[in-house]
Amino acid sequence: MWRWVRQQLGFDPPHQSDTRTIYIANRFPQHGHYVPQKFADNRIISSKYTVWNFVPKNLFEQFRRVANFYFLIIFLVQLMIDTPTSPITSGLPLFFVITVTAIKQGYEDWLRHKADNEVNGAPVYVVRSGGLVKTRSKNIRVGDIVRVAKDETFPVDLVLLSSDRVDGSCHVTTASLDGETNLKTHVAVPETAVLQSVANLDKLVAVIECQQPEADLYRFVGRITISQQIEEIVRPLGPESLLLRGARLKNTKEIFGVAVYTGMETKMALNYKSKSQKRSAVEKSMNSFLIIYLIILLFEAILSTILKYAWQAEEKWDEPWYNGKTEHERNSSKILRFISDFLAFLVLYNFIIPISLYVTVEMQKFLGSFFIGWDLDLYHEETNQRAQVNTSDLNEELGQVEYVFTDKTGTLTENEMQFRECSINGIKYQEVNGKLTPEGFSEDSPDGNMHSLMKEEELFLKAVCLCHTVQINADQTDGADGPWHANGIASPLEYYASSPDEKALVEAASRVGVVFTGTSGDSMEVKSLGKPERYKLLHVLEFDPNRRRMSVIVESPSGEKLLFTKGAESSILPRSKSGEIDKTRVHVDEFALKGLRTLCVAYRRFTPEEYQEICKRLHEARTALQQREERLADVFNFIERDLELLGATGVEDKLQEKVQETIEALRLAGIKVWVLTGDKHETAVSVSLSCGHFHRTMNILELVQHKSDSTCAEQLRQLAKRIKEDHVIQHGLVVDGTSLSLALREHEKLFMEVCKNCSAVLCCRMAPLQKAKVVRLLKTSPEKPITLAIGDGANDVSMIQEAHVGIGIMGKEGRQAVRNSDYAIARFKFLSKLLFVHGHFYYIRIATLVQYFFYKNVCFITPQFLYQFFCLFSQQTLYDSVYLTLYNICFTSLPVLIYSLFEQHVHPHVLQSKPVLYRDISKNAHLGYKPFLYWTILGFFHAFIFFYGSYLLMGEDTSLLGNGQMFGNWTFGTLVFTVMVITVTMKMALETHFWTWINHFVTWGSIVFYFIFSLFYGGIIWPFLHTQDMYFVFVQLLSSGSAWFAIILIVVACLFLDVVKKVLYRHLQPTSTEKAQLTETSSGINCLDSMCCFSDGETACTSVRRMLERLMGRCSPTRVNRCGISLNSLCCRRFSYKLEPDEPAAIDV
């Protein structure tokens, strides 16, 4: 029991050894003292709470927030000591916030429980007692033999034992794991592949030894020992034998596999990633402001306590005749009385800390994030993909980006490869009408007969057709004449590949006469000019990013053993000993300058002795349980040497639409763009020039091919000197992966100095972790700029997670980037609207929201502080306890929430067409200490006017009521509160630029609701209230003409100076945003989509549609027609608005 508790707490992990031993079908040895290992069950748990721990765990998490914990302390103080306000005033708002948050989190966790139960209760079939037994997924144990049928998902991580195919192979798709839709082939070891029936499998006696669970989807090290009669056969197990939970079986009737990892130990579960706890700059500012206001609160409480005792130093005020002290009060400790009074003042002023700020900000972020998904401008029609929001906590951070780090392939480009040219035996070729034509030659007969290929050309194309991981759709059949046509018509065979480069090359080879027609068992079939050939596949040396190449060893029809290798020129050319190496290197550089992606192809012939040595080494490395990767790398290097170079390929990856315009817009917005790519130097530079990342007039500086610290440091110093000497020309920097590693090792500061003085930086030959290091380097620099990383592949995940904001592109390299990102878009061009429109709006909205909350609470509590000077600091409250409770919850909450959702201070079309406006909000300009100080001083100023204006106008007037009665303290407090509610609501109205009917409803409705509530609250005797100090107070207040005059005069006095300040600043020191607002107004865009503006003959339905169009970002007048298609059901036929001179007078929708 104690061990189980320790395991649950994480002190005693269940796995002590590096490997696990699995007895297939749980046939444990009968001899010796065998102790079975403990494995996890197969339940998936993604939920956070249980029925038993929800309340304590959720409360603990919520009270870790400073504001919640602070109000809890205040509530407890009110319960323990005699305070001027009821505990309800603090307890009710706290209970409301805690309850709303708990309900939200509880509902989300209930959905997770529901999903878990569906997965854990799914029916599965396992082999037990010689037959198939139906059970639930959660009951599968490690060692069970599981049957999976076609199109079913694997319920656990399985080692493949057999399939319905003779060779024991099967096809799976891992789209739900890594997003790759291509079919992957998995194979069983030959000894178990023949066991295709339940009866035979039930007799299997075998043991699997493998590594303990780890998260890497593509790594698995193990071996299987099969007992056959008197001998034991040992076979290696690798990733090709492992079927991952969550993957789906395709093109295979059924398979049998043994469970090796279950439940939360499966690779899918280990890859569960809780959303990164990124904190926005606004949240950090908000916490700083809370601390400042806490200091103000403590200062006011201490000052009030000191002044109380200073005032009571006079005997007549210490114990006045009408309020004598009890004997207990006279004998109590002065220190205890001081502490008690201090706590009482703390409770009296505690509402200066806005408890509802957190819940309002959460609601604003959650509801506001829907607008990104609804924006039709971010919808990609071709792929039917819309923008996704995975983390709503960072909406406003989109408006603060200073650096953009972008991948190249699939992000700036389409990742749609097209074969353009190749180099074979030192001669450049191009594809012309389905034929390989040497450069400089023209093909006169586009529909000519099948032409012959030279020996070198045929060998090159066979290497391309054999060295790959391409799959063919199993539903297609091979016709009598084969799929190849000589006239250049594309092959009808449908190829699948995880690499678009491989697919483009195999398709190109098929068009020119060498067709890959599929695999049969351990053979690969090709047709060379219609003649079928069968190559036996002996070994596959898988691609890895360190070697940057892949190889296959095949046996030709003549029995010759051949190695075909394909990879980056930097990994192939140095290993080649013959062939046209120099000419090919020149051609590769020429391809790269054209922006083509390059690969080199080589081969090697083995003697029988060499092949036997290779087989021996490969078997030893692949059956090793320790350091298998290192041993395999050594063997691969031993095999892939002394190559004969065949040639190189050049494949084009087209730029995405509007990439150049987007990068230029980012530059105008003051955002620096860094391109981080794994491509070679020349290709990356060429693409950077074509996409506008580098300008032709830019001075390109290079930090490449450095092998030592000294040369790298010297080059950096020279670059820094050149940049300082030339202040006119823009500089661009190119750095490769090896030089970057040297620069970051000992010369980080110098490297950063060079980079920051460059307009654009291109990093090529980058490994995934290097991308993350570069982002972290900028992120943690002294200036601490806000960074954004955008990419589409699994190699971009580390960069996306490291940046302040991570954006995934829904591309063709899988969905790992999308799943690990904060936001996901379909194309790079959508980045401009995401930042310049949505980011701009979100930042302005939440900056105003946060500062307005502090402003209205200063207005709220400062009159309470001033009132103490008139009541001898007796802790008498100015407002009724109900008003104290409902001020932030009801009376002033909705206008600011609606503002923070709908406000558009500048038209979206203007923001996107003028990226320079983005600079106005950069570096947290609207939420720094200067605007915060302005709002705070404004709050104190308005509070002084509320209090002293009411006091001077009505405080000493004894003839305000018709019966001669003068106002009491509750009437005075209600007057101050009424003025305050109207003023802070009108202040929000002054800040609003974009008015909809919703804004009108909540703004004026909040004021009306306050008056109606006060009339009912004070006009009726409520039996459940212990005391009712406010009975008929509000009715008497409104019956006085002087009170109405005071309310109007004080509200105007408060807002008049604010209006004057705004007018003067707009005319004397206008920002570029305010200038854009004036331009917008003069061009007729003002009120375009506002639902408060009705043109003649319009229906209310028209305004509803206009608001929906505006919310979805369809704000340009020229695009309203397109938006109307999706909103036509809203019944409106025709509408008109103020137009540009060259536009029609009305638009039909």
Count of residues in the chain: 1149
- Report how far residue 949's alpha carbon sits from residue 21's, in angstroms, rounded to the nearest whole number: 83
Note whether 1030 and 1013 are within 8 A (CB). Answer: no
Residue pointed to by tokens 């200490």: 929
The encoded tokens of residue 707 equal 């092998």
Contact assessment for residue 211 and residue 222, using Cβ atoms and an 8 Å cutoff: yes
Surface-to-core class of residue 225, CB atoms within 10 Å of its CB (0-12 exposed, 13-18 middle, 19+ buried) = middle
Q: Which whole-number Å values give the CA distances from 1083 to 740, 833, 915, 1063, in the listed order? A: 50, 21, 19, 21
- Phi first, then psi: what are they for 574, rounded to 5°? -65, -20
- Distance of alpha carbon 412 from alpha carbon 790, whole angstroms: 10
How far is it, in rounded angstroms, from Cα 324 to Cα 338? 19
Q: Exposed, middle or buried by CB within 10 Å (0-12, 13-18, 19+), for 1?
A: exposed
Instruction: Identify which of 386, 411, 499 has the alpha carbon closest to the alpha carbon of residue 806.
Output: 411
Q: How far apart are CA 589 and CA 585, in angstroms?
A: 6
CA-to-CA distance for 509 and 431, rounded, in angstroms? 10
Contacts by 1067-1074, CB closer than 8 A, 24 or more apart: 1071/920, 1072/914, 1072/916, 1072/917, 1072/919, 1072/920, 1073/905, 1073/906, 1073/917, 1073/920
Q: Cβ(428)–Cβ(587) under 8 Å?
A: yes
Residue type (1 letter), 1037: L
Amino acid identity at 114: K
Burial level of 984, CB count in 10 A (0-12/13-18/19+)? buried
Q: Using CA atoms of 683, 684, 687, 688 in order, give the dihedral in degrees to the nearest 10.
A: -150
Q: Are 639 and 575 in contact (CB under 8 A)?
A: no
Contact 436, 706 (CB under 8 A): no
The closest alpha carbon to 905, from 841, 820, 969, belongs to: 841
Q: How far apart are CA 527 and CA 729, in angstroms?
A: 56
**Out of 144, 178, 393, 407, which one is annotated catalytic?**
407
Closest by alpha carbon to 150, among 475, 447, 562?
Answer: 475
Do residues 20 and 261 make contact, with C-beta atoms less than 8 angstroms apart? no
Asked if 777 and 749 touch (Cβ cutoff 8 Å), the reply is no
Asked if 855 and 984 touch (Cβ cutoff 8 Å), the reply is yes
CB atoms within 10 A of CB 652: 19
Dist. CA 851–CA 245, nearest whole Å: 49
The tokens describing 943, both together, are 């509070």
Q: Which neighbouring-strand residues pair with 53?
A: none
- Residue by residue, DSSP assigns 250-307 as ES-SEEEEEEEE-GGGSHHHHT--PPP----HHHHHHHHHHHHHHHHHHHHHHHHHHH
Among 1133, 917, 960, 941, residue whose Cα is nearest residue 1046? 960
- The reply to whether 407 belongs to the active site is yes
Tokens of 509: 């080879």
H-only helix segments in 377-527: 455-466, 500-511
Which residues are part of the catalytic machinery? 407
